[in-house]
Amino acid sequence: MFTAKPRGSFTKILCTPEYYHSPGTLEDHSAKTFKRPVWTKLLAYLKRNKYKSDLVLFTKWDRFSRNTSDAYSMIDILRKLGVEAQAIEQPLDLSVPENKMMLAFYLAAPEVENDRRSINVINGMRTARKAGRCAAAAPLGYANCTDESGKKYIVPVEPSASAMKWIFEEIASGHYTIKEIYRRALLKGLKGGLNNLYIAIRNPVYCGKVTVPKYKDEERRLVDGIHTPIISEGLFYRAQEVMDARKVSPVSEATKVDSIDQLQLRGFLICPICSR
């Protein structure tokens, strides 16, 4: 993408050291949005040099934007800076009223294509889930695999799988906090952060179930997965009951502790033994 300024009888392509010769000017981000590093840099350059450039050139309109409303807004912004947006392979003289219809087509077509692709992906993911397959990234304790037909599935991997089983057992016992269980689980081979663990222990995939999310008029439901469960269904729901009972209370109540008034940091110090 370049900006161009007429100079005499030819068009001069601006290649200023402050912009085009600086590192990282290769645009490799999706055109779904204008929040792209190189585009942001180019727009800032045009704003600093208002009315000093005539054109912003790109190969096709779908390289400019794949969102119709955003594209019209950006064209208006460029026009106020004295710059015309123009596609090299799909040139349009927008001073001709009829060409605005072609512009609308060029901008809408890629957005429709994106929407159709998105719908196909969603339908594909839901079909896989309804069949009991986990087509997304494998949760802690599992790894993604692909069968001979190219379909994805998950398998338990050690030592993380055993660590996750131990975690559910400890949660169900109710003897330790999640943070304490997490610290001990790291020594057993668990891989991943604490936030990932909080998400994982709510996932029924560990007891052999796959979640089919709510979509349009279809309600959320669980189906039997084709993968090997790490824990029993009973253990999973016992752990959920303990987690629900440990929901964080309001701050005003959570900071109330039994301690002497002279302790300046009461409510903030944590006991390394009992975590109170």
- What is this structure's pTM? 0.57
Mean pLDDT of 109-135: 87
- Residue 270 is predicted with a pLDDT of 73
Lowest mean pLDDT among 7-21, 111-125, 126-140, 169-183: 7-21
Provide the domain limits for residue 147: 142-249
Structure confidence by residue, pLDDT tens digits, 247-266: 644 443 444 445 566 666 76
pLDDT at position 254, please? Answer: 41
Same domain (yes/no): 11, 103: yes
CATH number at residue 34: 3.40.50.1390
CATH number reported for the structural domain that contains residue 210 in this entry: 3.90.1750.20
Residue 237 and residue 163 share a domain? yes
Q: Report yes or no on 103 lying in a domain.
A: yes
Q: Are residues 92 and 151 in the same domain?
A: no
- The string of pLDDT tens digits covering residues 136-176 is 888 999 999 988 888 888 999 999 999 999 999 999 998 88
Distance between CA 105 and CA 85 in Å, rounded?
A: 16
How do residues 198-217 score in pLDDT, each as one tens digit?
A: 999 999 999 999 999 888 88
Confidence of residue 267 (pLDDT cuts 50, 70, 90): low
The pLDDT assigned to 115 comes to: 87
Q: Are residues 61 and 8 in the same domain?
A: yes
Say whether both 56 and 149 belong to one domain. Answer: no
Asked, for residue 271, whether it belongs to a domain, the answer is no
113 domain residue, yes or no: no
Beta strands 2-7 and 55-58, pairing class: antiparallel
Look at the alpha carbons of 132, 136, 141, 144 in this order and tell me if their dihedral is positive or negative: positive
Instruction: Note whether residue 258 is domain-resident.
Output: no
13-45 residue pLDDT tens: 344 444 444 444 566 667 778 888 888 999 999
Half-sphere exposure of 233 (CA within 13 A, CB side): 7
Asked if residue 270 is part of any domain, the answer here is no
| Count of CB atoms situated within 10 Å of the CB of 190 | 24
In a domain, 265, yes or no: no
Among residues 84, 108, 132, the one where a domain terminates is: 108
**Total number of domains constituting the chain:** 2
Q: Per residue in 46-83, pLDDT tens?
A: 999 998 888 999 889 988 888 888 999 999 999 999 99
Scanning the chain, the segments in alpha helix (DSSP H) are 37-48, 61-64, 68-80, 99-130, 160-173, 178-187, 194-200, 233-245, 251-254
On whether both 9 and 91 belong to a single domain, the answer is yes
User: Do 34 and 84 lie in a common domain?
Assistant: yes
